[in-house]
Structure 1
Amino acid sequence: MPDEKPLDSLVFLGRKKGLSQVDLAAKLNISQGHLSKLINGLHEPGAKLRRRIDELAQELAGLDSSWLRAVQRAAQQSSDFRDAVSALLRIMHSNASADST
């Protein structure tokens, strides 16, 4: 199974909007346990769920879903790019956590 965690950005955007994993799972019409497994890379989303993930990310961020797919493709093709995006998301998450305290 790939090392990448494609839902990191969705989880980050959800947290910025005050949504929990339970909330995100409900919006995706899946269980929180299934979402957790997806986030941790234990399961891969199918095509329909991947589309719902893109649509939800677009809703939360106001981004065009084609941009999100382009970032996902780039992350799949380049481990350096994937590592850079992951590091950026960790920094953003850390800053968001610090801002909320």
Structure 2
Amino acid sequence: MPRPDDDTLKTLLPLLRQLREIKGVREARPGAFTVRGASFINLQAEAGQVWAEMKKAGGAGFDRYPLATPPEHRKLVDDARRRAAALDDE
């Protein structure tokens, strides 16, 4: 799936800032985040919608998160904090 264009990423700046603040999470390129050098969260665009795919706990695949509303943003950030902390404890 294609990554969101720059204009779409600009609309997601508050979300991106929150993801950048999570301990252990690094932004490899706009909209692509890693933990310990491994893919963690990737933002994607599909049919006019923006989605995030986040590595599942245990590392077997990815969970998909819609990003159309602020509550959806909060869910992604909350889950990312939990999963990043769990990876940091490993």
Q: For the superposition of Structure 1 and Structure 2, which TM-score range results when normalised by the shorter chain? A: 0.3 to 0.5
Q: Which has the larger radius of gyration?
A: 1
**TM-score if structure 2 supplies the norm length?**
0.38
Greater helix percent: which structure? 1
**TM-score if structure 1 supplies the norm length?**
0.35
